[in-house]
Structure 1
Amino acid sequence: MVRNMIRGGLCALLFAGAGAAQAQAPVKIGFITTLSTPAGYIGEDERDGFSLAIKQGGGKLGGVPVELVVEDDALKPANAKQAVDRMLQSGIKLYTGVNFSNVLAAVAPSVLRDGAYYVSLNAGPSTFAGEKCDKNYFVASFQNDAYHSAGGAAANELGYKRVVLLAPNYQAGRDALAGFKRTYKGEVVAEIYTKLDQSDFSVEMARVRSLAPDAIYQFHPGGAGINFAKQYANAGLTKTIPMLMPSFSMDGRMLAASGASAEGLYTVGMWTTEMDNPQSSAFVKAFTEAYGRKPTDYGMQAYDTALLIASALKAVNGDLSKGDAFRAALAKADFQTLRGKFRFDTNRHPVQDYYLMRIERSGNGFAPKIVRKVVTDGRDAYVGQCKG
């Protein structure tokens, strides 16, 4: 009898040990982003913001061990498509990381066809916000148009009657100008589309000067945005034709590169390193200590995305086969966002506030300071088209 009790006890311990080992198997998260090219710093901030949340959780999100599998898409949709196909074949069921909308267009369909989950930390193309929305596709950042609709509202408040619009000719650029025009009440003098990898904007500068608008609204992320801002200042246009832009066209890295030429410019966004809430302040401090630089909006969004995913992983104890429960937990968005307020609309895109900000001196550099809120509980224009 004693022998049977010992044997039973050993079996119980073995089963318990096996269960513990199984519970500790990490959930792999496919993280495809842009780490090379002049826009590579964007992916670096996204990777680092997401990784910071994992580090703070002791290698876990929501108490669930995770493994981040990172690939560089080099801003090439074909590279991203090959990367996601490899990851899907290896069994990865949860993805994030893509920064550019044209790259996401190559990644998301493969993920969704496989029944896997995609949670966007930046790109929010209109394509997937309306008729092509999917129950496994969530956007933790913004819908592209919505960000720029806030730009149109800001231009109205600033009293700009005649505006020239500029953006690169790809999905997010077209969404940007469509979103601006949706709310802007003045005259759009011209729409100028540039190349995604363009570095010389002298022709565009000359055209802006000849059109003599009240202001320009421009969207150029990454290295292109740095070149645009510098050339605009060097051409003397900042003194005569004000520039309004989304925060992605003058993020922290771009501010450091642009220097005093950015002072006084207006941006529109949902967050700034100067935002006065304890969660945001703690994040900025932790990120700066961990990586030796202040985070950009991209880093903030990635951190928020990690917290969102953590809340859902916790709800299902890391079991992604519990699809309904995992989706419901994501939709609940039960996490403390750094931007102050966040909830999902029925198309699984955010409902959130946007602010008009002005670039001002801050310490040894420059930072966007909030002037006032321009959009409260902003929704995107495509939510009514989403039936799924």
Structure 2
Amino acid sequence: MRQHFLKTIVATGLGLSMALVQAAPAEENRDELKIGFMGVFSGGQAALGQDSYDGFMLYLKNNGGKLGNRPVDVLKADAQIKPVVGVQQAKRLIGKDGVPIVVGVTFSNVMLAVHGPITKKEVFLIGTNAGPSQIAGKECSPYFFSTSYQNDQKAESMGSYAKSQGYKRIITMVPNYQSGFDFVSGFKRYYQAPLLDEIYTPLDQQDFSAELAKIASEQPDAVYVFYPGGLGVNFLRQYQQAGLLGKIPVLSTSTTDAINLPAQRDSALGVVTSPVWGPDLDNAANKKFVAEFEKEYKRIPSDFAAQSYDGAQLLDSAIKKVKGHVEDKAAFMAALKQADFPSVRGDFKFGNNNFPIQDLSIFEVVKDDQGRFNLKKIATPLKAQQDAYHQDCPMQ
């Protein structure tokens, strides 16, 4: 039944995208539009949610507080890193607040919990960070659109890079939850060689001394890690203190970025990482975004901010196409699918499962010309890459 519903929506909603957008009501809806923004805004990972929120709000502010010429009221919802809290917040946003659109979601365990309750109510969910494999495949929904990535994508680019560097003995080390599983799977898919070891640690673990002692003993060619936010600060500091930095290369995903580089500093120098965006990407939209963000917030933006900025651009374009009438769900869905906006990543389009098809690059931590710890693009191993799960999605 669900697969039949998805195919019906696609056939009637997306297959006639241009006609539906053109058929949107002629009069413009200028009533205030409520949008929910869900992220982690408390605890040790709050900086990730805040950077996402700041990127979204930057575009909104510079666009006169409107998206698609319609005034917007953004309602923040702190899901923490707890699926049960995320579901509670989703129900509040959809029920009490009556939002037709929810944006954000920082962690994959929360995304897996809220994706169904939101999209099954035919509320649009614009994911600006978490991209677990399940919602890219069999559990895909025409009401979900991602302006970030499917989790495996970032790891796939690093796996491809590791293979090109000739590393033969690699240890992976990630938290024991959905994103960690996806990142290891993606890395192995393109590394295409047996791993020396796979280490999984509790999501709240702060002391990595035992694992680092094991790495020092096994002497791999490189270590591939995923430790977001404060976990990444602790990991790299301890890695440096253990005398491993500069001896065993660190390949990373979402471990070092503009959020935690000010705290990591020298402990991150030379580390390579694989976000889908970097501050030095050479296109006009990105240069504008970086300049605006640094002026507004007095700091370098992260990929969390960039992905949410793109989320705001996507909504602005789509709401404009339907003249503010997001209530016309088929037309709004078709307008979102067109992804008619200048992404800070350059070329951007949606695949059949509404996840991006995009270039995947590798960046190195360096000191920039202002003496700041920053990211510099060094390679683009995968171009116009579609995620590995899209063929399992019944949408066409």
Asked whether the 8 Å contact 1:149–1:183 carries over to 2, the reply is yes
Partners of 2:378 and 2:29 in 1: CA distance: 48
> How far is 1:44 from its partner?
0.6
For residues 161-218 of structure 1, give each alpha carbon's deviation from its aligned partner in whole angstroms, at most 9, with x where no partner exists.
1100111111111001011011103330111011112111111101111221100110
Asked whether the 8 Å contact 1:218–1:243 carries over to 2, the reply is yes
Q: Which residue of 2 aligns with 1:210?
A: 217
Q: Which residue of 2 aligns with 1:237?
A: 244
For residues 312-350 of structure 1, give each alpha carbon's deviation from its aligned partner in whole angstroms, at most 9, with x where no partner exists.
111112212211111111111000000111110111111
Unaligned runs of 5+ in 1: 1-18
Is residue 181 of structure 1 aligned with residue 193 of structure 2?
no
Moved more, 95-104 or 83-92: 83-92
Residue 274 of structure 1 aligns with an amino acid whose one-letter code is D
> How far is 1:260 from its partner?
1.3
Of the three residues 223, 228, 232, the one matched with 2:235 is: 228
SS of alignment partner, residue 370 of structure 1: strand
Q: Which residue of 1 aligns with 2:318?
A: 312
Is residue 29 of structure 1 aligned with residue 35 of structure 2?
yes
Spell out the pairing of 1:241-280 with structure 2 (5 A cutoff): 241-246=248-253, 248-280=254-286
Is residue 341 of structure 1 aligned with residue 347 of structure 2?
yes
Residue 179 of structure 2 aligns with an amino acid whose one-letter code is A
Asked whether the 8 Å contact 2:223–2:251 carries over to 1, the reply is yes
SS of alignment partner, residue 25 of structure 1: coil
Asked whether the 8 Å contact 1:124–1:142 carries over to 2, the reply is yes
Asked whether the 8 Å contact 1:168–1:195 carries over to 2, the reply is yes
Is residue 195 of structure 1 aligned with residue 202 of structure 2?
yes
Structure possessing the higher radius of gyration over alpha carbons: 1
Partners of 1:364 and 1:253 in 2: CA distance: 16
Q: Which residue of 2 aligns with 1:73?
A: 79
Is residue 122 of structure 1 aligned with residue 148 of structure 2?
no
> How far is 1:286 from its partner?
0.8
What count of residue pairs does the alignment treat as equivalent? 368
Spell out the pairing of 1:357-372 with structure 2 (5 A cutoff): 357-362=363-368, 363-372=370-379
Asked whether the 8 Å contact 1:154–1:268 carries over to 2, the reply is no
Is residue 286 of structure 1 aligned with residue 292 of structure 2?
yes
Partners of 1:320 and 1:274 in 2: CA distance: 34
* Percent identity over paired residues: 39
SS of alignment partner, residue 99 of structure 2: coil
Is residue 62 of structure 1 aligned with residue 68 of structure 2?
yes
Is residue 147 of structure 1 aligned with residue 165 of structure 2?
no
For residues 102-126 of structure 1, give each alpha carbon's deviation from its aligned partner in whole angstroms, at most 9, with x where no partner exists.
0111211111121111110001000
> How far is 1:239 from its partner?
2.3
Asked whether the 8 Å contact 1:274–1:367 carries over to 2, the reply is no
Partners of 1:28 and 1:376 in 2: CA distance: 36
For residues 264-305 of structure 1, give each alpha carbon's deviation from its aligned partner in whole angstroms, at most 9, with x where no partner exists.
111122221122222212111111111121111100011001
Unaligned runs of 5+ in 2: 1-25
Partners of 2:140 and 2:313 in 1: CA distance: 23
Q: Which residue of 1 aligns with 2:335?
A: 329
For residues 5-24 of structure 1, give each alpha carbon's deviation from its aligned partner in whole angstroms, at most 9, with x where no partner exists.
xxxxxxxxxxxxxx99x933
Asked whether the 8 Å contact 2:223–2:248 carries over to 1, the reply is yes
Partners of 2:93 and 2:352 in 1: CA distance: 29
Asked whether the 8 Å contact 1:77–1:103 carries over to 2, the reply is yes
Asked whether the 8 Å contact 1:121–1:141 carries over to 2, the reply is yes
Q: Which residue of 2 aligns with 1:43?
A: 49
Q: Which residue of 2 aligns with 1:12?
A: none
Is residue 95 of structure 1 aligned with residue 102 of structure 2?
yes
Q: Which residue of 2 aligns with 1:356?
A: 362
Greater helix share, structure number: 1
Q: Which has the higher contact order (CA 8 A, sep 6+)?
A: 2
Kindly report the root-mean-square deviation, in angstroms, between the aligned alpha carbons of the 2 structures.
Answer: 1.4
Per the normalisation by structure 1, the TM-score is 0.92
SS of alignment partner, residue 299 of structure 2: coil
